[in-house]
Chains A and B, each alone.
Chain A
Amino acid sequence: MSNIILKNITKSFGTAKAVDNLNLEIPDGSFTTLLGPSGCGKTTTLRMIAGLETPTGGEIWIGDTCVYSAEKGIFIPPKQRNLGLVFQSYALWPHLTVFDNIAFGLTIKKLSKQEIAARVQEIATAIRISELLARYPSELSGGQQQRVAIARVLIMKPEVLLLDEPLSNLDSKLRMDMRAELKRLHQETKATIVYVTHDQLEALTMSSDVAVMHLGKLQQWAPPMQIYRRPANLFTADFMGNPKMNSLKGTIAKVDNGIVVQAEGFSIPVATGSAAAKRVGEAVTIGLRAEDLMVHLQAKPKTVSAIVYSVLPAGSEWYVKVNLGSVQLTLTVYQEMEMDADDTVWIELNTNRVKCFDSEGMRLDLM
């Protein structure tokens, strides 16, 4: 068993709190991603799990072992935690060959030369770097260095694999390939993976669970699609998804045929039985993903007119920026349309997908 439990973990640097009262329970064998902008405390959290940083308060459990407790004065050093960490920079030792880099941990364990050679060979074959063993890290490409860094960690058979932005130094094509490989690796090793990234697409495509962090605090912790569909707050909604979610200021209003949210000419009916009835008159923010907006070249019922600001073709889809009153919206369009800057178009909403947030930025389940 190697689930990871963080209880009330806090880490302060001076007066600044890098991680603020974080509670997380990473299940055994899961692929959990810590997602957030730089400075949100995700890497610090990872390093605390690894034992490279000591928290200021709280408890960390790996499996049945408490590896850190401020209260009880427990600190299990990193090497006894049976985990592997792949660094963002890969941290390959430049003065050692690939073989020696991979073999390092086993030589510390004082295994016999034959056994080390056999195990290095085995892992190198599995990860397809066996022809690189005699080289030095500086003679490898970024992708190859990445593989060596992973091999160096996997050879120790860790129960927990920590990955700190491992793809950020690769070009976008290679990144695509490596995503698939890392996902595959997870299925093969069955290790618990904790993955740190600021790239929401990586989080979406690879993880079984995503923990979104901001300013040291956990924002939401759920499977990726749930975060995308049902973001807990405005920050999460904003951070997940590309292009960025559109947001409009609106109010809850009572009209003839029930309660609606009114914003920039749109009138969005709320679901029956929702809490909206008690909140009539309250200001809210509504979130609209680019793909939940449809554009028409002619006026239609339930549409609102807007002026095209610019059109950005991106191959399989087009991004269209339109000015609607005082706000600018970004839309995704999936087929070619006759449209140019300054044209008038009509915007329709997919009302089922509209997200609504209260004045504090927390999600309201209205639709």
Chain B
Amino acid sequence: MTATAEQPASTAIGTEPVLSVRDLVKHFPITSRGVIRRKIGDIHAVCGVSFDLYPRETLGLVGESGCGKSTTGRTVLQLQPATSGSVVFQGQELTDKSSKQMRSVRRDLQIVFQDPYASLNPRMTVNDIVAEPLRIHGLHDKHSGDKMRELFRLVGLNPEHGNRYPHEFSGGQRQRIGIARALALEPKALILDEPVSALDVSIQAGVVNLLEELQDRLGLAYLFIAHDLSVVRHIADRVAVMYLGKIVELADRPELFDRPAHPYTQALMSAIPIPDPVKERERRRIVIRGDVPSPASPPSGCRFRTRCPKFANQLSEGERERCVEEEPALIERGQGHPAACHYAAVEKVL
């Protein structure tokens, strides 16, 4: 599309991105309580997020709760109107489309939700759930039965169980139903909003494998939203790390995990426990203090500075001033990939 110039590190240079997000902003108003509701502030959920998603690639969007990763996914889909910014999907600007106009776009851009217990209507049979997209788009006809069977097999479910209700299935199976529903319209891109984080570990692996397989077979592009860096390391081609509404680091997978440059990425990686006792014992942990500040009043300058170990321990008084006053842009500073830190420096964590 247009603005690929500012789009760094990509595994698929030369191809057009299927999805281009530029300076996406999403604020939620905070209203006063009482009869007359006045707006008294904004939750700055997403603050100028830009990324490209290329065909057949998986972009991991990682961050802790409240960093705006899920809001980003929903705003891209126009489930919530964007406050500003642009979302271009297959050459079409989505942010100014009406919900009617969006309908045709939705055939190509679908979403899988986190909670397989909440994302399926408990009063509908699984057949009805998976067929719903076809009905909505007027594609339900006498051949749909075959299509449904194919979908069920595709996601590893037995087609004979279509007349059951969601609660009759286990968590992993329900997530497969959610995936089948998203695939029914044969989309080009899927937004996967924490698709495995509600599942038990032994079941999680099957769903991750399924997603990888589907990508290979159907050539899907994934925007994989997750808080778990381990899963992202396994499945993503490129990774964007979010903190408090902004992308703080964006790199190809091997690059990010081998050479993280942003202090937050480093802390995040070092905080994730590894199921290996010896490694765990020997690991150096960068423990960051405190909690994520409120997105209603984010810190000035660099948003991570209030918890940043580098800011607290390594920087001089003069250097800190810059963190407080100037917001670091997401650019490369000689470390091979963009990171939003004035003093970004590669440090091996793993």
Partners in one complex: no
A interface residue numbers (CB < 8 A to B): none
